[in-house]
A and B are shown apart, each in its own frame.
Chain A
């Protein structure tokens, strides 16, 4: 049975073999030793028609409950936002979707310019001068940032906050395991969550390659001591790395403006669906310092002209840099990235504009503020657990005895509301706590529904 993706059907293949004097297809596989020849069919389902495949896959997917069909307050590194219809339709264009890495710039100006625009927009958001054309996600961008700090300074210690997502920490540890860098965690103030500056000062020494904070932090509050941290890092000769949710940068000060050398973050909320956590989009930007740029991992698109100087064009550039980086102690190996997601981010940011992004981040923060205000009134719940300003994520703690956060969430779910991510296993000291998130997807009614469900969950039987 000919397959509709394979144009050279049997008769045509036979003709091709005849024309080139090849006896048969078997001749072309004759050099595979008999011992490793697969002598049976692969144990896979038989080919299905498109209609049957569609039915089959949709049947499996129907066992998912999308967060668009129930109020969900999950965040923690993947944040649901509305993806404007035109963003989606533009990146579905075949010329973008089915193109390869733009190694031939003459025929790939479309994606090259789009990526240059992405890089530029990230620079405006972060306050830095250079951004690469994407990494896999925030966690791997952080790993690469640590390696870059080690390369740039020749030092081996990387400082992170204790209040960091365990997933990001695990990825970071794996990334720095090659050159065997040392990861040191800094504690936090139990009341405010703010970084313990005394401990930071004690750890900062001439072996510190980089200091990393997240702002907003993993648990949603803002780090208010950024100026002090930046200065401390600078005085110790260390790099200062900040991890961000880019949506927050519509409202919050750009890390480049408070001394960050490198900014990493999760670009998924910029025009990309959550999609169960992937594809994601690792943001990576750095100061326009020549030495630092030379250590920047990943692909870079640069502006140039045609050879005769008459027409502007874009091309992947500084590629020898990638070879140089591989000759260093702390290498990077990134090749393919998340280019299409970066294009979606560029289209999204262009569509929002400065006032749109500001307004969007205000909506997200206001929703969180409203949620906290109302949840606070429920006896048996405490929110947030840190007395610092928050952006769009916040912690919610069950103080009612014997009510675990899992049980609390189960009770919410049975009322059709999905609660936040339990964090007790990551931070046992913080008790029966969950991390919640609000975005522009949440209406006032959604939040009211959460509050009512929460009250019932704590109050007694669900």
Chain B
């Protein structure tokens, strides 16, 4: 194995901080001349000092270019992070989102000057509605968790409109952590139900959990184990019977595109992750977008404005008396929406179906091939969808090496680590989502790497625990980072003085 990540080093660090590179008198950009007019701001409101670094443009470029080289991205390596759908980000999407007509328009411009933006968003809404089987979509949420919060606010508004105060939201124990947090943020109590021995929602537990207090059930389908909730119709029935709503977390939509639609499964609210299924780049943590679609009975509550079309022009409708208001300023992450729209056009109906088919074939291929890598097991029988969860518990029992150690060692093979320790119901979990944009060869390489790592765990566990060693830097002292937090250059200077 001869992989090695790019690496720069200086004395005691990989790359100095911009504050350390600063030299008085330098500047990194130019400004147009000032109009001659007096600024009538009293002196006492003017700041006396501002300590920003002073670098020239070439230095800025060199610094950040070097930093970028010490960073994994899906354009560089295999990134099998479960439930994140790290697929290839088409460059045409970025090019169009960066065009002047997309980037240089202001949200408050007169509507006749932004008909293009309104039209694009309107069309995107309709495409998403068709993909999910819902009647209307809101593009405002800026991230998955943001969309979840919107979903929960819609649930509350719906029940309130019927004169009911429902306090409980049901969530399976395998759910994403943001599900719990979003429900609590909207003021709901969270009722967690266990998964059964097939890895799916335990119907008996669900039956005990639903009542007239049930506001909603939040579900991902396929679930976080990569398994399709085949009893979804019974589940939907149970929740609807008590008057509750069904919320769909779209994180795993990549496994069912074109095969089945949340709206048809009985979901009242469907959430999308554009930065997952619809391939907008993750950007190191954002920006993303988490649109939310609803069935007819919830349309009234959607945030304002709604984009409407009267056959002649597109316009923003704010006249929605039952709307919950806004959940962010303006209309959403437009730059991200342009990319998602472009992606859908590039794939087309059959392309999206092929996405799901290939993602599922790739995941099952990995699952089956991993069956003869000892040390890892899959707890649940049957095919998975677009992702598979392995347990490294056998390896841990045998060698003491943990899922985390395995994940760190994978970094040395020029791959990003899969998600580990999630979902929490699987011990030593490793959640692998290959996506449809990976080659068979890369998947084979992954399996070979896991095999080598398992061997190394048996023969040389200390070496494994020292991983990663082929990345720009080795393991960091995370305990020190939280015990003595240094969160800014200011804090660092202060501590250095003491």
Contacts and interface: CB of A to CB of B under 8 A. Distances in A.
Contacts of B333: 278-280
Contact of B352 (A44, A131, A293, A351): A44
Contacts of A174: 153, 324-327
Contacts of A279: 142, 286-287, 333-336
B149 interface: yes
Contacts of B131: 42, 44
A121 to B, nearest CB: 6
A19 B443 CA distance: 13
B13 A312 contact: yes
Contacts of A326: 177, 180-181, 184
B47 A119 contact: no
A254 B50 CA distance: 9
Interface in A39-75: 41-48, 50, 53-54, 56-58, 60-68, 72, 74
A440 B185 CA distance: 40
Nearest to A102: B284
B53 interface: yes
Interface string B56-90: 01001101110111111111100101001011111
B135 interface: no
B477 to A, nearest CB: 5
Given A97-B281, A277-B329, A80 B104 contact: yes
B90 A64 contact: no
B388 to A, nearest CB: 12
Nearest to B382: A31
Nearest to A178: B187
B285 A336 contact: yes
Interface stretch (B239-247, B362-370, B394-402, B455-463): B362-370
Given A113-B67, A119-B488, A6 B55 contact: no
B445 interface: no
A165 B350 CA distance: 45
B65 A90 contact: yes
Contacts of A60: 116, 119-120, 123
B471 A106 contact: yes
A156 B385 CA distance: 46
Interface string A360-401: 101101110110010000000000000001110000000000
Contacts of A41: 258, 349-350, 353
Contacts of B29: 84, 351-352, 356
Interface string A391-418: 1000000000000000001100100001
B101 A137 contact: no
Contacts of B130: 42-44
Contact of B346 (A50, A94, A222, A370): A50
Interface stretch (A228-236, A296-304, A451-459): A296-304
Interface stretch (A22-30, A183-191, A192-200, A201-209): A22-30
B207 interface: no
B17 A170 contact: no
A111 interface: yes
Interface residues of A, number: 198
B449 interface: no
Contact of A251 (B47, B68, B143): B47
Interface in A88-143: 88, 90, 92-111, 113-117, 119-121, 123-125, 129-131, 133-134, 136-140
A178 B327 CA distance: 13
A167 B382 contact: no
Interface in A1-32: 1, 3, 5-8, 12-13, 15-17, 19-22, 25, 27-32
A64 B37 contact: no
A127 to B, nearest CB: 8
A36 B260 contact: yes
B178 A335 contact: yes
Contact of A337 (B143, B188, B358, B368): B143
A341 B474 contact: no
Interface in B92-117: 92, 94-110, 113-117
Nearest to A319: B482
B321 interface: no
B32 interface: yes
A213 interface: no
Contacts of B436: 5-6, 8
A276 B105 contact: yes
Nearest to B341: A57
A341 B12 contact: no
A7 B443 CA distance: 12
A217 interface: no
B100 to A, nearest CB: 5
B55 A109 contact: no
A329 to B, nearest CB: 9
A409 B79 CA distance: 51
A30 B383 CA distance: 9
B1 interface: no
A76 B329 CA distance: 10
Contact of A5 (B142, B324, B437): B437
* Top 8 A-B residue pairs of the complex, sorted by shortest distance between their CB atoms: A277-B330, A47-B348, A110-B71, A340-B283, A351-B28, A339-B285, A277-B107, A333-B181
Given A317-B478, A317-B482, A318-B482, 19 more contacts: A13-B358, A25-B357, A32-B230, A41-B353, A68-B104, A97-B75, A108-B284, A109-B472, A113-B67, A120-B17, A131-B488, A136-B328, A174-B324, A224-B45, A278-B287, A279-B333, A311-B14, A370-B35, A389-B45
